[in-house]
Amino acid sequence: MITDSESVTIHNVANAAGVSISTVSRVVNNLGRVAPDTRRKVETVIRRLDFHPNSRAQALSRKRTDTIGLIVPDFEGQYFGMLMEGAHEEAQINGVHIMVLKAKGAESQIEAVSRLCSEGRTDGVIIMLSELYDEVLEGVGNVNGPLVILDKDVNSWRLDNILVDNRLGAFEITRHFIDGHGITNLFFVGGSEHNVDTTARARGFSDALVSIKMNPEGKKFFGNNYSYDEGYRLAAEKISPLIKSDERYGVVAGNDDIACGVIDALMDNGIKVPQRVGVAGFDDSDIAIHRRLKLTTMRIPTKEIGRVAVRMILDRAADKTLEPAKIVLKARLIVRDSCGCGGKADN
């Protein structure tokens, strides 16, 4: 009689169930067809013997590693943390692991993807392309392994793709100032002009102004990054000098950090927020609700992006004949104090 669960092998299970080793393997790995009665008999023996398959042997037999690579440009910031958390949660549910790498810039991203795929270390790779690096896609487009691209629309490359409709989100939050507050003196303050999120959000801002027959030229200001300091600098240097005491204004910021920098710069210059200038952010990060003046913002489904990306990799690994998919997730307007609504629809 077998009593030590660590010594139980697939051979023991096969012998006890009176079936072949290959039948036990199909039951354990859920591969191929097994008669229902046979499956139940094998599963009963597995439970009785307390059999725990060797995960490494399972992966090798299926030519899988049960590991998914996730490449992000940075580890800092709540956005990346929530993305990784969502991916990890979905991976756990499906019995796989996440290997996270930091790679910023075209050359390092190409190298990271190629290394993970060519060395057989992962079953697929999720990569965030926050910058407009077409050369990255040229470098990884022929990699032999499932790829899911985040942030950049890669439909023409026939790769699986997850996007947030940043353009629509920025349009909606800009129209909130126009329709909800009657404000048409509006500015956009974003990160780098080479960042795909910034450019999409700037376009949505422009669309909203054009929709009321206003010219967006001279209304958009860009910084070097998505930071509080850049928001503060741009507001102090570019926006504060344009504010007149007898008019109301609105600022749509590229993210919440920038929005908070804008608010502090305006207030340090004696400009009341939101009485004189309403401000809105993007992302709905922790900072949006941890300040005295709670931030109106667009909520990004960041954890859901991570979850969906993992599911796409698993689907692709299971069936390489699937057509490339493009999933577009929507941001949601969260109304609080900073736009001038007084938190009447806080969520």
Query: Which regions of the chain carry the CATH code 3.40.50.2300?
Result: 67-164+302-329, 166-300+333-341
> Which residue, 78, 140, 152, is CA-closest to 107?
140
Closest CA to 8 of 58, 61, 57, 51: 51
% of the chain residues with pLDDT over 70: 86
Distances (CA, A) of 310 to 29, 40, 45, 134, 331: 19, 30, 32, 23, 20
Q: Cα torsion for 135, 141, 144, 149, to the nearest 10°?
A: 90
Residue 159 is encoded by which pair of tokens?
């790769």
47-61, 153-167, 191-205, 267-281 — most confident range:
267-281
- For residue 257, pLDDT over 50 is answered with yes
Q: Which two tokens stand for residue 135?
A: 């050369």
Quickly state the pLDDT bin for 39 (edges 50, 70, 90): confident
H or E element at residue 135: helix 134-140
> What is the per-residue pLDDT for 159?
82
> In this structure, which topology does domain 67-164+302-329 adopt according to CATH?
Rossmann fold (3.40.50)
In this prediction the pTM is 0.74
Q: Which residue bears the tokens 């060395």?
A: 119
Which regions of the chain carry the CATH code 1.10.260.40? 5-61
Mean pLDDT of the chain: 85
- Does CATH place domain 166-300+333-341 in 3.40.50.2300? yes
**Rounded distance, CA 194 to CA 47, Å?**
56
Over 137-191, what HEC string results? HHHHCCCCCCEEEECCCCHHHCCEEEEECHHHHHHHHHHHHHHHHCCCCEEEEEC
Give the CATH superfamily of 5-61. lambda repressor-like DNA-binding domains (1.10.260.40)
